[in-house]
């Protein structure tokens, strides 16, 4: 089953095409762009020497051959680690066929730690508009510094102060309302997304933190509380849902008029939406 295109739902590659390639690596983001993803999602953390890197976990143990907290390691320490070979075979994601991505030791940059600066360069060279959804991770020992460094880097690429939120190819996401408030204070036109893992009673009416116009509920919230999407829409908010991998969840997002689907499987979601890969 595929859907005839209705309103255009943006397809966002979660940590890149992370089912087919190691998450947060250049290989995963290149694959997502090739697959036709409209946007790329990444998590950012600050290294001990002040570089923003794309790593989800507080520690590097799960996704590299190293150990330790990102905040306690310098970029050179991270660059010496292998962020790719852990994801080599079909056993990782339970499929019978071999994955499209194959680890090759000579492709060092593709599976090394990825800085946000390098990801911004990739997007700039994509040859088409590819948006970027950047999540700040919290709590962190670098309170406030992550947002500060992020805005400095976006300014270097001319992305920190769009004329209007709708025109921005970049948005900042967080589970932390305080983090989003810091971003809005420094760059009022940069769009922000408030991520929700659980639906608290104070948010059930569709309100979001002051100044935030995009909600980012989990697919579990959307499954269990579909009327919440309608309340968000009634309050004038857009809705970006994570992490949507199953066909039936894609169908639900279409039915509810979701604005963006964040997925580990951008190619499959695009196909489900009836969109030609570009």
Catalytically active residues are 14, 56
- The rounded distance, in Å, linking the Cα atoms of 88 and 158 is 37
CB atoms within 10 A of CB 164: 8
- The rounded distance, in Å, linking the Cα atoms of 239 and 126 is 26
Q: Which residues contact 233 (CB under 8 A, 6 or more apart)?
A: 206, 239, 257
- The rounded distance, in Å, linking the Cα atoms of 221 and 44 is 24
Closest CA to 172 of 132, 130, 127: 132
Closest CA to 272 of 98, 33, 35: 35
Contact 84, 22 (CB under 8 A): yes
């Amino acid at each position: 089953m595929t859907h005839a295109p209705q309103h255009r739902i943006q397809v966002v590659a979660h940590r890149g095409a992370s089912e087919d390639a190691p998450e947060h690596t250049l290989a995963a983001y290149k694959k997502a762009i090739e697959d036709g993803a409209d946007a790329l999602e990444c998590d950012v953390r600050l290294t001990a020497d002040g570089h923003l890197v794309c790593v989800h976990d507080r520690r590097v143990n799960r996704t590299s051959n190293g150990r330790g907290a990102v905040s306690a390691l310098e970029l050179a320490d991270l660059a010496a680690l292998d962020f790719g070979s852990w994801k080599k075979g079909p056993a990782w994601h339970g499929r019978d066929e071999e994955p499209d991505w194959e680890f090759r030791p000579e492709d060092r940059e593709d599976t090394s730690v990825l800085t946000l600066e390098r990801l911004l360069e990739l997007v700039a060279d994509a040859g088409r508009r590819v948006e970027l959804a950047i999540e700040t991770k919290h709590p962190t020992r670098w309170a406030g510094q992550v947002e500060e460094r992020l805005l400095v880097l976006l300014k270097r690429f001319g992305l920190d102060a769009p004329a209007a939120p709708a025109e921005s190819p970049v948005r900042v996401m967080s589970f932390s309302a305080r983090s989003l408030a810091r971003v809005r204070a420094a760059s009022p036109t940069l769009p922000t997304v408030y991520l929700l893992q659980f639906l608290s009673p104070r948010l059930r009416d569709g309100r979001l933190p002051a100044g935030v116009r995009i909600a980012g509920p989990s697919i579990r919230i959307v499954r269990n509380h579909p009327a919440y999407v309608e309340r968000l829409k009634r309050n004038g908010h857009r809705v970006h849902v994570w992490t949507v991998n199953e066909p039936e969840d894609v169908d639900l997002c279409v039915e509810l008029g979701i604005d963006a689907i964040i997925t580990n499987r951008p190619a499959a979601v695009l196909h489900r939406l009836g969109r030609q890969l570009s």
